[in-house]
Amino acid sequence: MEIVELKKGIYWVGAVDWNIRDFHGYSTPFGTTYNAYLILDEKNVLVDTVKAPFYLEMMGRISEIIDPSKIDVIVSNHVEMDHSGSLPQIVERIGNPIVMTSERGMKGLEKHYRKPMNFKTVKTGDTLSIGRRTLTFVEAPMLHWPDSMFTYIKEDRVLLPNDAFGQHYASSQRFEDEVGNEVMKHAAKYYANILWPLAPLILKKVDEVVKMGIPIDVIGPSHGLIWRKDPGRIIQAYVEWSQGKSKGKVIVVYDTMWGSTESMAKAILQGLIEEGAEARLLHLRSNHRSDIIDEMLEARGILFGSPTLNNGMFPTMGDFLTYLKGLRPSGKVFGLFESYGWGGGAIKEMKKTLEGEKFEVWDKELRVQYLPDSEELKKAIQFGKEFARKALDK
């Protein structure tokens, strides 16, 4: 196996999951990686493990570098099983190493594995001298779970922040500079679908890390590529995404039964484009929900269109809005349109969901009975133009 060294004596010993296509509801067309890191010093330290089915892959990489039984300490930055899944096996294999984790991490690991381990809990600012190096721990609750923490290696200026700054991207490369700008596309989708609801916490944590004055040469997240050329680039992107900075972009998300809502959506799109918006049309059954969320990250306005079914919205719209609610995007304006046969009800149901989350919903809406005629399509174009002006603050 190829040996990957981040800095002298610090190795990537994770696993590549080429085949995963659904990560708890998030589409992963490029797979993912589970990153674990091995630090060789007077005390040898393994930071995080990998998802359980990849235990042997991780052990193979470790064995290329040292005898695994020589690991003294395992740091568990995060309980979720994509990172702790191999912990019980490796603890058993190497015999009772110290397992360093946050207080909540210890409780979570005990509840997951019901296995006695030699835990030592740490909190923000605690350090561990391992010889030439010192590890510093920074609690990062909710990035991604309450137990999450970062590990920082002072002498090498390496930050291991677990889920923060990651991407779901499997490749033969390990570093972002080997891939180029494409990495930002994967990082944005990951942020939008996993960390978006935690935006205020991210800003606070970034500020805290900056105030600690810790220089960073390398960021080794727990998924995807390692940032070594310009780690400031991903930190800056997180700040901007967390601040809700958006572009002059509007997206139209819709489903259709007999083509009526689709005709409306296309006419609205025409109006948006004529008004100068960067606009995209996204059919709910042709685009995965996690890709639509990715499109939403840098959009200022979002239009939802649904046919009426049984006095309510179409089921695919219900699925999408349920997913969206949990992500709590801020700084967006939403507009609604529907087609109906008799009583209607799609707008009413979509509005109730969005307003229940305190999202900003435009007070104008567009409704068409059965199929839109040419006058109604002209109104739809006009509706798109007005929404573009509203969303883009013209």
Token duo for residue 348: 């009413």
CA distance 85 to 109: 10
26: how many CB neighbours lie within 10 A of its CB?
22
Site residues for ligand FEO, window 316-375 (CB under 6 A)?
none
Identify the three-state secondary structure at position 218. Answer: strand
- Over the window 163 to 182, marking each residue x when it contacts ligand FEO by CB under 6 A and - when it does not, the resulting string is x-------------------
64: how many CB neighbours lie within 10 A of its CB?
12
186 interacts with ligand FEO by CB under 6 A: no
- Over the window 209 to 238, marking each residue x when it contacts ligand FEO by CB under 6 A and - when it does not, the resulting string is -------------xx---------------
Residue of 153, 168, 151 whose CA lies nearest to 8: 153
Nearer of residues 144 and 205 to ligand FEO, judged by Cβ? 144
For residue 38, report the phi and psi dihedrals to the nearest 5 degrees.
-115, 130
82 interacts with ligand FEO by CB under 6 A: yes
Annotated catalytic, 177? no
Annotated catalytic, 223? yes
78 interacts with ligand FEO by CB under 6 A: yes
CA distance 122 to 86: 21
Select which of 144, 191, 254, 262 is catalytic: 144
Annotated catalytic, 190? yes
Closest distance of CB 151 from ligand FEO, Å = 15
Q: The tokens 């992963």 sit on which residue?
A: 28
Nearer of residues 33 and 256 to ligand FEO, judged by Cβ? 33
Annotated catalytic, 82? yes
Site residues for ligand FEO, window 375-394 (CB under 6 A)?
none
147 interacts with ligand FEO by CB under 6 A: no
280: how many CB neighbours lie within 10 A of its CB?
16
41 interacts with ligand FEO by CB under 6 A: no
Select which of 17, 41, 48, 82 is catalytic: 82
Nearer of residues 14 and 248 to ligand FEO, judged by Cβ? 14
Closest distance of CB 140 from ligand FEO, Å = 11
Member of 48, 80, 295, 376 binding ligand FEO (CB under 6 A): 80
Closest distance of CB 166 from ligand FEO, Å = 7
Nearer of residues 80 and 275 to ligand FEO, judged by Cβ? 80
Q: The tokens 């039964």 sit on which residue?
A: 257
Select which of 17, 48, 80, 262 is catalytic: 80
Annotated catalytic, 112? no
CA distance 292 to 324: 10
Member of 144, 174, 228, 249 binding ligand FEO (CB under 6 A): 144
Annotated catalytic, 144? yes
Select which of 26, 37, 57, 78 is catalytic: 78
Window contacting ligand FEO (CB under 6 A); options: 3-11, 78-86, 107-115, 353-361: 78-86
CB-hemisphere CA count at 13 Å for 243? Answer: 11
Is 195 in contact with 9 (CB distance < 8 Å)?
A: no
DSSP 166-217: ------S--BGGGT-THHHHHHHHHIIIIIGGGHHHHHHHHHHHHHTT---S
48 interacts with ligand FEO by CB under 6 A: no
CA distance 186 to 267: 31
CA distance 357 to 366: 22
Q: The tokens 């079914």 sit on which residue?
A: 309
Residue of 40, 231, 228 whose CA lies nearest to 133: 40
Query: Catalytic residues, which ones?
Result: 24, 78, 80, 82, 144, 163, 190, 223
Binding site for ligand FEO (CB under 6 A): 78, 80, 82-83, 144-145, 163, 222-223
